[in-house]
Structure 1
Amino acid sequence: MATQTEQRPVLALSAVNQMGCRCARVVLLLLLQALCLLAEDGSIDCMCVGSGCLSEQCKGEQCFIAVTISNGEPSFRRGCLFGSESRRMTCSAAPSASHVVECCSQPMCNVNASMESLLQLLQTSPGSGPARYRPETVLLFIFLGPVVALALLATPTLLLCRRLRPGRLERLREFDTEQGAVDGLITSNVGDSTLADLLDQSCTSGSGSGLPFLVQRTVARQISLVECVGKGRYGEVWRGQWQGENVAVKIFSSRDEKSWFRETEIYNTVLLRHENILGFMASDMTSRNSSTQLWLITHYHENGSLYDYLQRAPVDTADGLLMAASVASGLVHLHTEIFGTEGKPAIAHRDLKSKNVLVKKDLRCCIADLGLAVTHSQADNQLDVGNNPKVGTKRYMAPEVLDESIQTDCFDAYKRVDIWAFGLVLWEIARRTYSNGIVEDYRPPFYDLVPNDPSFDDMRKVVCVEQQRPFVPNRWFSDPTLSALVKLMKECWYQNPSARLTALRIKKTLDKIHSSLEKAKPDC
């Protein structure tokens, strides 16, 4: 019974996710509002571990612990039981050779129970023949089956209510008993889907938000970590594999939880999916090596970041323009608010730099790392800056950020900060673009004016007081394409934020430069 109980919530939510989007969403919201009120009374807190758990605790009328042997491997679960009939049937089940369950009725009474004590019951239980039930249990099966079915279907909805309370996700913690075995942990089967199949199954179609939460957790637990491909102050990035496909797993350090939470929140924004925004798959909290880890799973791009790519290889003029135009296209999508029933708020990145831009196989780029993003909706004129106290990278900070004159209550001010940073990224690309067979070595912006790890004061002195800009070699002015790029980047670097170009104007200008380059090519 416990095995069936744990599987049905996942099946029920999968069925809901496959219903007609708008009708299902309205019905589910009405159910949530009604059931959330009921979920508060007549229940106790229990520890929840194993598949079907949305957090480390759940509320029920009784707590349970259970062990199931599958393919010779024991699986240990803790959780809650709802409804008197469900509790009586589950707790009345006699131990068998493959399953045993124990129930208790005090708050958190299943916390200290161990798998070893239940395994002893398994070893001493009869090894053959079906489990025997008392007569009253058989009667309950016959006469109260429909009531139990309704209780099982309501369980995931009640758990969702707990998850949707304000601040619930931020306090979420999960403790798995199989520590260090995250790679092999699977909550439920999602079939032979590919990444594209899963993303297309989302209720909002392929251009919508993230996957349903339970599907995200399922995907996260089916990923095997292969190799570490990067480290930073936020944590690590690993190349992982899911059903034979490479994925990127960004593992945040515990001190950077707010960035993980904010990035998860932003990536689940409806209509965020775009070819020039890093593709998001799933987000999950998991326990590994006795510590809680925060995972963000995205598409994997083997070329790495634009910062890494430009250090390895220079680019020709066409590829340099392609890189710049794709970053601008992603920025336009972020900055643009989409109106409608399922609209998208305008989003400002706030930490745009070459390390936060990834290079695809075709050398087009996509923008990543939305942990510091700011959102704005005109409908209610609400500016959401999140609760992360961190600011962007000092080397890429705009003058108004460095001298602290930025209008923090104005969304357009944050968009103009992104434009300043884009101008610096454009300069980095231009340095590594061939012109008359000549190309400069890679250097970060202001490399000749500040130390390798500049302080806030270093950058303020150079950018605000001296009003200096990155060095532009004379040879760039002899190349029509690079000369046009110089004009464009300088219009991103105005000291007055309101004088800077918009992302859309930048994109159109780059498209025009690319068209001019194509026309200038000699006919074969």
Structure 2
Amino acid sequence: ISDFPTVAVKIFPCEEYSSWKNESQIFTDASLKHDSVLQFLTAEDRGSGPRREYWLITAYHSRGNLKDYLSSHVLSWMDLQKMAGSLVNGVAHLHSDYTACGRPKIPIAHRDIKSTNVLVKNEQECVLCDFGIAIRLDPSLTVDDFANSGQVGTARYMAPEVLESRVNLEDLESFKQMDVYSMALVLWEMASRCEVVGEVKNYELPFGSKVQEQPCVDTMRDIVLHGRGRPEIPSSWLPFHPQGMRFLCDTITECWDHDPEARLTAHCVAERFNLMAQMDCDDILNNNTDNEM
């Protein structure tokens, strides 16, 4: 990266060629371009033989990933609203059948949404990155094509149906529902570091106190699938921002519902963030009116 002060170079060794190829193909789809998706510049292969390397060159964001950022920063309500909203907008764009300009596009499921796969663009914006196991939800693909993709993702963030290996491969919406579950865990991480919850505790990953740093699928299956466990949303979070924070917590809860079909869509969550922004505008207007009186 030192040779490219404004770009990042992600290097894949030979044995990770398939991941590089998949991510390159996802990135080279022009319809992927979005403010909340990492900006792709080019893909290259370097060298030959066993020393051959595969490069992805993207925009560079010096603030690093969301996990590290949350570890050392407490968010204001506005920061939380903006940063979380940008993440949600990115996921909604991936899942959409259309670009912002209205052009048809193939929806994409990320399949590994987690706080280390979200980069902090600035104090109020995030971008999604790492599309190594993302999949294009092309209607022309068969159930066998999707079945061959296997059980993928990071165990800590896997939805119950993924942990159980009971994903409905005949319904492409299933892949989006998995993303929404994972996204809910990241939203919880962000909410847990917001100053409006009162005493902000040290940053913790979802299920942090219950599992090891890299829990296995069996461990997460016991907690999430059989125990129906989810990260705690303390009652103390809710009174501090009666409209916005409660609305956000309700949204998170609906996104990690055990039943995939009961979860909100990313588009619905994006609409809710717009409503939260409107709530804040109304609060400001009402407060100003009260002060004038």
**TM-score where L is the length of structure 2:** 0.89
Name the CA distance, whole Å, in 1 between partners of 2:150 and 2:60: 29
Aligned equivalent of 1:432 = 193
Secondary structure of residue in 2 paired with 1:282? strand
Name the CA distance, whole Å, in 1 between partners of 2:255 and 2:264: 6
Name the CA distance, whole Å, in 2 between partners of 1:512 and 1:401: 31
Name the CA distance, whole Å, in 1 between partners of 2:16 and 2:151: 10
Name the CA distance, whole Å, in 2 between partners of 1:341 and 1:488: 27
Aligned equivalent of 1:494 = 257
Does 2:82 match 1:322?
yes
Once the 2 structures are TM-superposed, how far is the Cα of residue 393 of structure 1 from its aligned partner?
Answer: 0.4
Does 2:214 match 1:453?
yes
Does 2:37 match 1:277?
yes
Q: Contact (CA 8 Å) 1:494, 1:500: kept in 2 or not?
A: yes
Does 2:265 match 1:265?
no
Aligned equivalent of 1:62 = none
Across the aligned residues of Structure 1 and Structure 2, the Cα RMSD in angstroms comes to: 2.4
Q: Contact (CA 8 Å) 1:435, 1:476: kept in 2 or not?
A: yes
Name the CA distance, whole Å, in 1 between partners of 2:149 and 2:259: 27
Name the CA distance, whole Å, in 2 between partners of 1:389 and 1:501: 24
Aligned equivalent of 1:67 = none
| Structure-2 change in CA distance of 1:390 and 1:302 (3 Å) | farther
Give the partner amino acid of 1:470.
P
Gaps of 5+ in 1: 1-224, 227-239
The number of aligned residues is 283
Does 2:54 match 1:294?
yes
Q: Contact (CA 8 Å) 2:151, 2:165: kept in 1 or not?
A: no
Does 2:265 match 1:505?
no
Secondary structure of residue in 1 paired with 2:258? coil
Describe the superposition over 1:490-517 as per-residue Cα deviations: whole angstroms up to 9, x where unpaired: 0011111000000110001111112212
Once the 2 structures are TM-superposed, how far is the Cα of residue 390 of structure 1 from its aligned partner?
Answer: 6.4
- Greater percentage in helix: 2
Describe the superposition over 1:236-263 as per-residue Cα deviations: whole angstroms up to 9, x where unpaired: xxxx41xxx5101111232221111100
Q: Contact (CA 8 Å) 1:270, 1:343: kept in 2 or not?
A: no
Q: Contact (CA 8 Å) 2:146, 2:169: kept in 1 or not?
A: no
Secondary structure of residue in 2 paired with 1:467? coil
How do 1:215-364 and structure 2 match up within 5 A? 225-226=1-2, 240-241=3-4, 246-287=6-47, 291-338=51-98, 343-364=104-125
> Of residues 131, 137, 151 in structure 2, which corresponds to 1:370?
131
Secondary structure of residue in 2 paired with 1:295? strand
Once the 2 structures are TM-superposed, how far is the Cα of residue 482 of structure 1 from its aligned partner?
Answer: 2.0
Name the CA distance, whole Å, in 2 between partners of 1:290 and 1:443: 40
Aligned equivalent of 2:169 = 408
| Structure-2 change in CA distance of 1:387 and 1:281 (3 Å) | farther
Name the CA distance, whole Å, in 1 between partners of 2:120 and 2:176: 23
| Structure-2 change in CA distance of 1:493 and 1:390 (3 Å) | closer
Once the 2 structures are TM-superposed, how far is the Cα of residue 484 of structure 1 from its aligned partner?
Answer: 1.5
Give the partner amino acid of 2:73.
A
Q: Which structure 1 residue ranges, 4+ long, deviate > 4 Å from structure 2?
A: 339-342, 381-390
Once the 2 structures are TM-superposed, how far is the Cα of residue 437 of structure 1 from its aligned partner?
Answer: 5.0
**TM-score where L is the length of structure 1:** 0.51
Q: Contact (CA 8 Å) 1:303, 1:359: kept in 2 or not?
A: yes
Once the 2 structures are TM-superposed, how far is the Cα of residue 311 of structure 1 from its aligned partner?
Answer: 0.6
How do 1:108-147 and structure 2 match up within 5 A? none
Does 2:286 match 1:518?
no
Secondary structure of residue in 2 paired with 1:478? coil
Secondary structure of residue in 2 paired with 1:271? helix
Q: Contact (CA 8 Å) 2:74, 2:195: kept in 1 or not?
A: yes
Aligned equivalent of 2:224 = 463
| Structure-2 change in CA distance of 1:248 and 1:354 (3 Å) | same
Name the CA distance, whole Å, in 1 between partners of 2:213 and 2:52: 33
Give the partner amino acid of 2:232.
F
Once the 2 structures are TM-superposed, how far is the Cα of residue 438 of structure 1 from its aligned partner?
Answer: 2.7
Aligned equivalent of 1:482 = 245
Name the CA distance, whole Å, in 1 between partners of 2:198 and 2:174: 40
Give the partner amino acid of 1:246.
T
* Larger RCO, structure (CA 8 Å, separation 6 or more): 2
Describe the superposition over 1:327-375 as per-residue Cα deviations: whole angstroms up to 9, x where unpaired: 1111111001139997420111100011111111242111111111111
Name the CA distance, whole Å, in 1 between partners of 2:35 and 2:215: 33
Once the 2 structures are TM-superposed, how far is the Cα of residue 447 of structure 1 from its aligned partner?
Answer: 1.0
Gaps of 5+ in 2: none
Q: Contact (CA 8 Å) 2:197, 2:237: kept in 1 or not?
A: no
Once the 2 structures are TM-superposed, how far is the Cα of residue 407 of structure 1 from its aligned partner?
Answer: 1.5
